[in-house]
Structure 1
């Protein structure tokens, strides 16, 4: 079977936040659609070849990620096509398309990558799989493959120079470049370098894949760190508000609840590693939940005297309507309830019992007695 020529993602126009020109968008959409179709055919044939190989399970991880990247690109290509609306776009739509192209999204599983990064990662993964499965290793133009591999290594070096996260498995890029230059010289002299070159080609593609994944994970870590830091500050401010609420309640109601406002400082500093940060965010959620319980409990206790006054007032109106207001016992209990509710602090159990007793006493009694 003739194997597919490798599809390479088209360069993306513009940059994040920039309204891309209509002509550039039209050309990019067409080229991306062609890449999308070609890459799907290529992945399907690679998948079939992997299943026929001696160790199909060894390809599962890269294939799954490659398919996920393709789906991420395909979903956003569909979204771009919807916004494009056959060319009926204005500045707002152009900016939105720029965000879809250059902005990160969670469509690629748990990895937040931009459309551009998803395309590059798909190219890198597919190149790795093609080389491992020996798809026509000598039939393709060796010079072009060497140039493409050199470009891959240069992109990897640029990512590292830009302070990208460095994966632990990343090979020595300088050593790979020197080896590639040596093989290129030997190839120009007529030597067969297909075997050693295939190993460098795989290593370069894998390095780019790992760098893109690591950069996305690092970006997600930074975003989650900033979110945790902001959440911690919010909880610290909320703790101060709750302390004031607790103090007001203790001055207004006896007995007051006995819940304790969580001490946010006991959480320590926001960690900067993924595992520790995930644990810290879980503890933040628990503190937030405990604070909500404190807020609900003390707000309810602080508001109960007013709630009881409302019940007493409504009951008094009912007593006047049914002729029970002038009864000496009803009047006495009503006065006692008013006094209990007006006291500071309010003895809430006593006030609650008096209001309950008053509400029972105003019920008309057959025969006019009490």
Structure 2
């Protein structure tokens, strides 16, 4: 059974409840991890598929959407700061969730989707890919696939309800047809019947339908005009800038040396113009700022990630020394103490930390070698 994106709390412009924000960030991290694992598996199947050329583009778009969600999660986590949020941070969290999401793919960027829309769109496309390549992590467990379908029907009902009244009849009829087929399969399973030849086409149609509804909603928003889109992009960049400054501050306090990138200042662009030609030019400048912010975010996130990896490696070595009974060994104990001290410093001197973790590993291996080597008679122990 494939994981689905968590429901996003709140709405744009309304400060988030701290407890809801914390749960959403945690659930979104679980979705990011599971979705990446599933995409990696699907990618392997696609590479071996005779339809690889037709499927590669969809896989790439799924990965782009996943990366955009993952990057936005990092900004959410930095703003959340383990729950230390005030009114300003709560509003910023709302904007980061419901504002325009940046992607590195022109196709995805053109959609101007929000974080919840990007994650749901990724879900829909992955579901379609799984069926097209006849791949499912629980391919023989139809009950799990039916569970996913029923959950998708619920999402589709919500999505159809968002359609304009004048355009709602056709998608409502499509939804009713899909729901009828899902109900029929449910009854068939309850009676012990086989649904192997029925479930695949319904999964594809439901995934395509959900994707089309999401894209259609986004395209209608785009029709509101370039000025509204650019204003939304500007507001999102302002929120990203604040979250980025918090990330940079945490990095500078944690590791040394830190990356030398400066956070782009959105205010330098000046106020937003109101004529179409100037708005288009302003929007292009915002895109450049967005790309620069992405470079900054990746650099500082990577620096913090390296510190986390070194800390985790030192803990693993300490556990191994304890298991092998080498914690009292003079060399191991000495290097362990220095390593712990350096990694605990703020900011942590990273070049020294790298060498110390490597030295810790070498000291442990040396002590283990000496422990296994019998002492010759007459030599000191």
TM category, shorter: 0.5 to 0.7
Superposed displacement of residue 169, structure 1: 11
TM-score w.r.t. structure 2 length?
0.54
Contact 1:19 1:98 in 2 (8 A): yes
In structure 1, stretches of 5+ residues that fail to align are 229-282, 290-370
**RMSD, aligned CA:** 3.2
Distance 1:51 1:169 in 2: 34
Contact 1:170 1:210 in 2 (8 A): no
Q: 1:149 to 1:52 in 2, by over 3 A?
A: same
Is 1:24–2:44 an aligned residue pair? Answer: no
Contact 1:170 1:207 in 2 (8 A): no
Q: Relative CO higher for 1 or 2, CA cutoff 8 Å, sep ≥ 6?
A: 2
Superposed displacement of residue 91, structure 1: 1.2
Superposed displacement of residue 227, structure 1: 7.8
Distance 2:224 2:187 in 1: 43
Max Rg structure:
1
Distance 1:193 1:44 in 2: 28
Query: Please, which of 40, 43, 52 is the counterpart of residue 39 of structure 2?
Result: 43
Distance 1:227 1:137 in 2: 39
- Give the equivalent residue in structure 1 for 2:65: 69
The number of equivalent residue pairs is 230
Is 1:78–2:74 an aligned residue pair? Answer: yes
Superposed displacement of residue 226, structure 1: 6.4
Superposed displacement of residue 45, structure 1: 1.4
- Give the equivalent residue in structure 2 for 1:160: 160
Superposed displacement of residue 147, structure 1: 3.6
Q: 1:103 to 1:227 in 2, by over 3 A?
A: closer
Contact 1:10 1:35 in 2 (8 A): yes
Distance 2:190 2:68 in 1: 40
- Give the equivalent residue in structure 2 for 1:257: none
Deviations 1:234-263 (A, max 9, x none): xxxxxxxxxxxxxxxxxxxxxxxxxxxxxx
Q: 1:170 to 1:133 in 2, by over 3 A?
A: farther
Report matched runs for 1:291-330 at 5 Å: none
Superposed displacement of residue 103, structure 1: 2.1
| Partner secondary structure for residue 109 of structure 1 | helix
Contact 2:5 2:120 in 1 (8 A): yes
Contact 2:163 2:217 in 1 (8 A): no
Distance 2:37 2:173 in 1: 31
Contact 1:137 1:198 in 2 (8 A): no
Distance 1:111 1:139 in 2: 32
Query: Please, which of 192, 195, 198 is the counterpart of residue 196 of structure 1?
Result: 198
Is 1:178–2:180 an aligned residue pair? Answer: yes
In structure 2, stretches of 5+ residues that fail to align are 231-274, 282-381
Distance 1:184 1:207 in 2: 20
Q: 1:39 to 1:284 in 2, by over 3 A?
A: closer
Higher deviation after alignment, 177-186 or 92-101: 177-186
Superposed displacement of residue 118, structure 1: 0.9
TM-score w.r.t. structure 1 length?
0.55
Deviations 1:271-326 (A, max 9, x none): xxxxxxxxxxxx9649x99xxxxxxxxxxxxxxxxxxxxxxxxxxxxxxxxxxxxx
Is 1:97–2:93 an aligned residue pair? Answer: yes
